[in-house]
Amino acid sequence: MTADTSHAQPQPDQFGGPTGALVLTIVMPIASFYLWSAVAHHGGSMWLPTSMDAVLAMFPVPTLESAALLGAWLLVQFALYVFGPGQVVQGRPAHNGEQAEYRINGLFAFVVSTLALLAALYFELFTASWVLSQWGPLLTLCTLFAVVAAAWSYFAGRRRGALERSTGSAVYDYFLGTILNPSLGRHDLKFFFESRVGMGIWAAFAVILPAAQLEAQGSLSTAMIVVSLCQFLYIVDFFVLEANLLSMIDIIEENLGFMLWHAFLVWMPFNFTLQQQYILEADPSLPTIAAAALLLLNVLGYYIFRSANLQKQQFRRDPTAPIWGKPPQSMQTKRGTKLLLSGWWGVARHSNYLGDMLMAFAWCLACGFGSLVPYFYVLYFVPLLIDRERRDNAICQRKYGDDWDRYCEKVPYRIIPWVY
C-alpha cells in the first residue's frame, strides 16, 4: 500500500504563490467594493474612477445600524445552530487525528430566519429600503471582519505548530490559512460561517432585494422573479442537503484563511446577489419566452449538479446501488478505496461543475446585456471551478498516484464532456 501524502507539508504553489496571494488579498475586497459602487452609484454600469472623491466613495463608513444588523444576525444564527434541533455528527478525522463536531440543522435555521424576516417586513418593523441604505456600511464592516478574523486564525494555526499545516510564508499563509478547523467550544467555525453566515446572509439578501422592488414598484419584474426563483432553489437545496458540505474540499481540505473568511462574509452574500441588485437598479426587460428558457436551463443545470453529487454520495454509502438503472462500475485503487466510473462520474471527472456553470449562466442572462456588472458571477465562477477542478486533480494525484493516471485515462474529460 502506498503512503498517504495528501497531508504532506504544503508548498506555496497555489494561486501564483505568495505574490498571487498578496494580489488576491488586495483585489478581492476592492472588486467587491467596486461592484457595489457600480450598482449603488452608477446605475449598474462599469465605471472608471475620475477623482479621489470617487475612489473614497467606494468605501462607505460603517454605521451603528450596520453593526447592529450584523451582530444580531450572528447572535441569532449561532443560537439557532447551538440550540436548534438537529443531528450532531462527527466530521472526517483530520491528518492530526482530530474530528470536528457538526450540528446539522441548517434547514431549521433557514426556515426560522426566513419566516422571521418576512414577518418583520410584513409588520414594518423595518423596510427593505432601510436595509439597502445599510448595504454599503455592511459591506465595509464584513470586509473588516474578514481581515481581522483571518489574522486571528493565522496566529491560532501558528500556535498549534505541527498539528496544523502551513508553508512558512506569512503572506501566503494569511491568505490560505494555517488552521483547518478552528472551533468555538465544540463548534467548527469554518462550517458555521460557510453555512449560517455565507449562505444564510445570501438567503436573507435574496428576500430583501425582491421586497425592495415590491416596495418601490408595487410588483416584481419578470427578471427579478426568474433570478430569485433560481437562487432560492439553489439555497434551499443547500440547506436540505447541508450534511453534504462535510465531504466538500472547503471543509475537509482547505485551511481557514482570508480567502475563505472573505468568501463567507463578503463574496457569497454581496457578490452572488449582484443580479438582483442590478435588476433592482436597472430594471431590464425579460420576454416571457426567454424567462421560460432560462428557468429550463437552470433546472437542467440543477439536475446535473445535484444528481452527480448524489451519485457520489450514494456510491460511498453503498457501492452496489444502481446508477442510471445499472450496477455501478468502479476502479479499485492501491489505497483500498474505489473510484466511480458510472453515471456522471464516468462522463467527466466533475460533471457537477458543469451543472453549476449552467445555473450561473441562467442567473446572469436574465439580466439582459446592458452591463457586464451582473455577469461578474459567471466571469468569476467559471474560472474558479476550473481552478478548483485542477486543485482537486492535484490532490487526487498525490493521494492515488498512478491509480489516478489510470482513472484519468478512463475518464479523460475534466468538466464538459467531449470539450474539456
Question: Model confidence over 9-42: pLDDT tens digits?
Answer: 678 888 899 999 999 999 999 999 999 999 999 9
**Cα 285 from Cα 40, distance rounded (Å):** 20
- The pLDDT value recorded for residue 3 is 34
How many Å apart are CA 362 and CA 356, to the nearest integer?
A: 10
Q: Which of 268, 276, 413 is nearest to 354 (CA)?
A: 413
Query: What distances in angstroms separate CA 220 from CA 228, 276, 362, 371, 374, one per listed residue?
Result: 10, 11, 18, 21, 18
Going from N- to C-terminal start, the domains of the chain cover 17-285, 286-420
Question: Residue 299 is inside which H or E element, if any?
Answer: helix 288-317
Cα angle 373-378-379, degrees, rounded to a multiple of 5: 70
Length of the chain in terms of residues written? 420
Mean pLDDT throughout 347-373?
96
- Long-range contacts of residues 6-9, Cβ cutoff 8 Å, at least 24 apart: 6/95, 6/395, 6/398, 6/399, 7/95, 7/165, 8/398, 9/165, 9/167
275 and 206 Cβ atoms separated by less than 8 Å: no
Burial (CB count <10 Å: 0-12, 13-18, 19+), residue 127? middle
Q: What percent of the chain has pLDDT over 90?
A: 82
Cell 478512463 belongs to residue: 410
Average pLDDT over residues 156-168: 91
88 beta partners = 103
Average pLDDT over residues 256-269: 97
CA pair distance 94, 281, nearest whole angstrom? 46
Question: pLDDT tier at 101 (50, 70, 90 boundaries)?
Answer: confident
The CA distance from 266 to 272, in Å, is 9
pLDDT at 253: 86
Mean pLDDT, residues 301-325 = 92
CA 344 – CA 415 distance, rounded (Å): 10
4 or 395, which is more confident: 395
Q: How far apart are CA 208 and CA 114, in angstroms?
A: 10
Q: Averaged over 212-237, what is the pLDDT?
A: 96
- Weakest-pLDDT range from 87-91, 254-258, 268-272, 409-413: 87-91
Q: Yes or no: say if 138 and 157 are a contact pair by the CB < 8 Å rule.
A: no
Give me the mean pLDDT over the 45-70 stretch: 93
Q: How far apart are CA 136 and CA 270, in angstroms?
A: 10
What the block records as the C-alpha cell of 236 is 434551499
Mean pLDDT of 361-386: 95
- Which H or E run includes 238? helix 222-240
Tell me the three state secondary structure of residue 334: coil
44 pLDDT above the threshold of 50: yes
pLDDT of residue 8: 56
Cα gap 300→231, rounded to integer Å? 14
What number is the average pLDDT over the span 226-231?
Answer: 97
CA distance 367 to 373: 10
What's the CA gap between 181 and 90, in Å, rounded?
Answer: 12
Q: Give the pLDDT of residue 313.
A: 87
pLDDT of residue 224 exceeding 80: yes
The Cα 39–Cα 43 span in angstroms is 5
User: Mean of the per-residue pLDDT values for the chain?
Assistant: 93
What is the pTM (predicted TM-score) of this model?
0.91
Q: What is the pLDDT of residue 125?
A: 94
Would you say residue 300 has pLDDT above 90?
A: yes
Q: What is the mean pLDDT of residues 175-190?
A: 92
Task: Kindly tell me if the per-residue pLDDT of 4 is higher than 60.
Answer: no
Percent of the chain with pLDDT over 70: 98
Question: Rounded to whole angstroms, what are the CA distances from 170 to 125, 174, 182, 183?
Answer: 46, 6, 18, 22
The reported pLDDT for the residue numbered 9 is 67
